[in-house]
Amino acid sequence: MRKFLQNLKSASNVQGTIAIKNSKGECQLHDITRLKNIKANEFCVSCELEMCYICSHKHITNHCDVSWGEDSYKKYNLAPKSQKNKDYNCGHLAKLHLQNLKCPCGKPIEHEMNAGICAACSTATCSKECHDKYAKEVNECTFHHNFTVDMPNQTLRSILFRNAYYLFDNGYGMGTPISKTSKLFTTGYLSDKRDSIYLQRGFRIYGNPAEETLHNLEVFSDDNIDYVTHTDRVCLCSCNVCKPRSIHSVENCSIRCQSKEALIKQEVNMSQGGLFDECHCTCKFCSSGILKLTHNRVQCLFHCQNSSFQISQD
Report the length, in residues, of the chain.
314
pLDDT on residue 247: 85
Same domain, 88 and 142: yes
Among 39-48, 181-190, 277-286, 289-298, the range scoring the smallest mean pLDDT is: 289-298
Average of pLDDT values for 158-174?
A: 94
Same domain, 162 and 179: yes
Whether the CB-CB separation of 167 and 196 falls below 8 Å is answered with no
- Of the two residues 3 and 217, the one the predictor is more confident about is 217
Same domain, 41 and 99: no
pLDDT on residue 271: 46
Dist. CA 160–CA 121, nearest whole Å: 14
H-assigned helices in the chain = 53-61, 70-76, 83-89, 128-131, 161-169, 211-215, 225-228, 260-267
What is the four-CA torsion angle of 4, 6, 12, 15, rounded to 10 degrees?
Answer: 30
168 pLDDT more than 90: yes
pLDDT on residue 9: 38
The number of CA neighbours under 13 Å toward the Cβ of 94 is 28
Express each pLDDT in 255-298 by its tens digit: 667 776 666 665 554 444 566 677 778 787 777 655 545 677 76
Q: Classify residue 249: in a domain, yes or no.
A: no
Same domain, 210 and 139: yes
Q: Classify residue 253: in a domain, yes or no.
A: no
Whether the CB-CB separation of 56 and 42 falls below 8 Å is answered with yes
pLDDT on residue 69: 66
User: Which amino acid, residue 174?
Assistant: M
Phi, psi of 3 (to 5 degrees): -65, -20
Q: Classify residue 242: in a domain, yes or no.
A: no
- Angle formed at CA 303 by CA 302 and CA 304, multiple of 5 degrees: 110
113 pLDDT more than 80: yes
User: Sign (positive/negative) of CA torsion 74, 78, 83, 84?
Assistant: negative
Q: Classify residue 257: in a domain, yes or no.
A: no
Among candidate residues 68, 97, 119, the one where a domain is terminated: 68
Q: Classify residue 260: in a domain, yes or no.
A: no
Other C-beta atoms within 10 Å of 33: how many? Answer: 6
- Of the two residues 35 and 200, the one the predictor is more confident about is 200
Phi, psi of 219 (to 5 degrees): -100, 130
Dist. CA 161–CA 197, nearest whole Å: 9
Same domain, 61 and 150: no
Q: Which of 73, 75, 118 has the alpha carbon at shortest distance from 247?
A: 73
Same domain, 80 and 105: yes
- Of the two residues 175 and 9, the one the predictor is more confident about is 175
Same domain, 139 and 60: no
Q: Classify residue 280: in a domain, yes or no.
A: yes
- Angle formed at CA 152 by CA 150 and CA 154, multiple of 5 degrees: 95
pLDDT on residue 101: 96
Average of pLDDT values for 172-185?
A: 91
Same domain, 149 and 37: no
Dist. CA 43–CA 215, nearest whole Å: 36
Same domain, 99 and 136: yes
10 pLDDT more than 80: no
Express each pLDDT in 224-238 by its tens digit: 778 878 889 998 888
Q: Classify residue 16: in a domain, yes or no.
A: yes
Among candidate residues 174, 209, 228, the one where a domain is terminated: 228
For residue 189, give the 3-state DSSP assignment: strand
Structural domain harbouring 179: 72-228
Among candidate residues 174, 197, 228, the one where a domain is terminated: 228
Distance of CA 51 to CAs 5, 10, 102, Å? 12, 14, 37
Average of pLDDT values for 160-167?
A: 95
Same domain, 57 and 37: yes
Same domain, 97 and 158: yes
Among 29-33, 80-84, 132-136, 266-270, the range scoring the smallest mean pLDDT is: 266-270
For residue 2, name the pLDDT band (cuts at 50, 70, 90). very low
Same domain, 194 and 128: yes
Q: Please give the DSSP secondary-structure letter assigned to residue 172.
A: P
Q: Classify residue 300: in a domain, yes or no.
A: yes
Structural domains in the chain (count): 3
Q: Which of 152, 151, 147 has the alpha carbon at shortest distance from 24?
A: 147
